[in-house]
Homo-oligomer: A and B are copies of this chain.
């Protein structure tokens, strides 16, 4: 069977989702069911320990793996702190590093991200760093002990799809780690394309959560991810310059 393995854990679904942006948290559960997503990211700040009834964790079924992220961190040091707290409060070993110093595009800071990855991987975390697609930085993240690389397609929440397609293809061709496309995926066709290119998974948050119908959209992305993956495994046809007839054209009707 075609499973994604991260940190010894197996995933049947290659669609990761997010909790951010849901106006109504009660939609998270049915969205997870329809999308079959088995991994969901959440900002640690959303985990409200004082008001347990508001705690985002109440809305996530037990079979779904938590991927706490370090959003709000501007340095490796801050990201490391958040990661440790996340583990302490029971969010598990997975951590998505998000270190952001740019408030307009929310672009990740590759240099600080590499530092944080090194520290957290040594501490036994399964580290998934969000990064600006850059082969040199990706190689350093591999050396630093990341479990996968999460390059962005375009800015978070922009729905602009794979603007960085060229660089992502290079990461997929040249990295040993799974490549998980993390931001900017706004349409199922973007997700299908990422999977056809050989991405190991995609993370889709606002395109689902901000949709008029997050449950329907969760299903749409789930189908698209499967479609792209199946096509990748079955091998895509080459493009051809000229036409190739599907039907016989060499004579009219029953003539030879």
Contact = CB atoms under 8 A, between A and B. Distances in A.
Interface stretch (A6-14, A57-65, A119-127, A185-193): A185-193
27 contacts: A21-B246, A43-B247, A43-B248, A46-B248, A69-B247, A71-B246, A72-B252, A72-B253, A101-B136, A102-B139, A104-B242, A110-B136, A132-B136, A156-B243, A156-B245, A156-B246, A157-B240, A157-B243, A164-B164, A187-B192, A187-B236, A188-B230, A189-B190, A192-B224, A213-B235, A220-B234, A223-B226
A1 interface: no
Interface in A13-48: 18, 20-21, 41-46
Closest CB pairs A-B (n = 9) = A157-B244, A20-B246, A71-B247, A43-B247, A155-B243, A224-B227, A220-B230, A223-B227, A106-B243
Interface of A: 18, 20-21, 41-46, 69, 71-74, 78, 81-82, 85, 98, 100-111, 132, 134-137, 139, 154-160, 163-164, 166-167, 170, 174, 183, 186-193, 196, 205-207, 209-213, 216-217, 219-224, 226-228, 230-231, 233-254
Contacts of A222: 227
Contacts of A206: 237, 244, 246
A227 B227 CA distance: 9
Contacts of A239: 158-160, 186
Q: Determine which residue in A42, A78, A105, A237 has the highest number of CB atoms from chain B within 10 A of its CB, and name it.
A: A237
A167 B160 CA distance: 12
B253 A234 contact: no
Contacts of A253: 44-45, 72, 78, 81-82, 85
A245 B20 contact: yes
Contacts of A223: 223-224, 226-227, 230
Report copies per complex.
Answer: 4
Contacts of A196: 187-189
A216 B237 contact: no
Contact of A71 (B72, B108, B205, B249): B249
